[in-house]
Amino acid sequence: MTSGSAPTETSGTGRLEGRGLTVRRWIVLCACAETIGMTASSLAAKIAQRVLGDDPHGAVFAAALAVVVAGGLVEGGALGALQARGLRRRLPRLNAWAWFAVTTAVAGVGWAVASAPGVLSTDEGGPEPPLLLVLAGALALGAVMGAVLGGAQAAVLRRVVDRPPRWILANTLAWPPTMAVIFLGATTPTSTWSVPAVGASGAVTGLVAGTVLGVVTGRYLPGASSAPSSERMYRSSPWID
């Protein structure tokens, strides 16, 4: 690389030279975030079911719902905090607090709303839905959530990257398989599982789901837009044509 030229991505290593962030590091951050988040969400679901007991109404139902929402917010908060931590190494001008806030709101509340009906349902005698139907629903939910989350995060990126809409594409592609892993893991435990077993299952589910999320979105990691427009043509980032 000649003096004064823009940093380029080194092929084969996943390292974004001069940016302080590697694809491997990004994958690890996403995996850690979802491990924390899904452990919390799984434990919250188990606790909420115990709070409901045999007479779910009024304040009891509200308390159980609050537990589910809290678990979702931990999931979204962990994802937002660790993603922001990684991106700040490449995008020093990124508003990390805004990234954390929108990610917590969309991912956290979105997951809580999606999981609440199943967790708080009192109908335990009906047949379980077919696995293919569960996965189809997860893929559809993932596509919607990915587009919404990607759009919210892209709004934070718009002043520090060249093509923020690509982040919407990244999340729209990444969240359907991620959500499929999450739903598969979430439907595995039964009511007879202990709290530690449910927590362990959630951790494994989060680890796999976060890895999938990191692998797909890692291909679209944004590049800073600080260089003059005459120099941007030398960048190899997928965010620049």
Structurally, how many domains does the chain consist of? 1
Tell me if 180 is assigned to some domain. yes
Running DSSP on this structure, what letter comes out for residue 161? B
Tell me if 64 is assigned to some domain. yes
The model's pTM is 0.80
Give residue 111's pLDDT. 74
Give residue 122's pLDDT. 55
CA distance 35 to 29: 10
Q: What is the mean pLDDT of each run of 10 residues along the chain (241 residues)?
A: 40 44 95 96 87 72 83 93 94 95 89 68 64 89 94 94 93 96 88 90 96 96 56 38 36
Tell me if 8 is assigned to some domain. no
Give residue 189's pLDDT. 85
Give residue 221's pLDDT. 92
CB 226 within 8 A of CB 218: no
Task: Give the Cβ contact number of residue 58 at 10 Å.
Answer: 8
Tell me if 67 is assigned to some domain. yes
Instruction: Classify residue 48 by burial, with Cβ atoms within 10 Å: 0-12, 13-18, 19+.
Output: buried
How far is residue 148 from each of residues 1, 142, 172, measured CA to CA in Å?
38, 10, 8
Give residue 188's pLDDT. 87
Residues 6+ apart with CB under 8 A from 40: 71, 74, 75, 78, 202
Tell me if 58 is assigned to some domain. yes
Give residue 144's pLDDT. 94
Tell me if 238 is assigned to some domain. no
State the residue range of the domain holding 148: 18-120+128-223
Give residue 229's pLDDT. 37
Give residue 59's pLDDT. 79
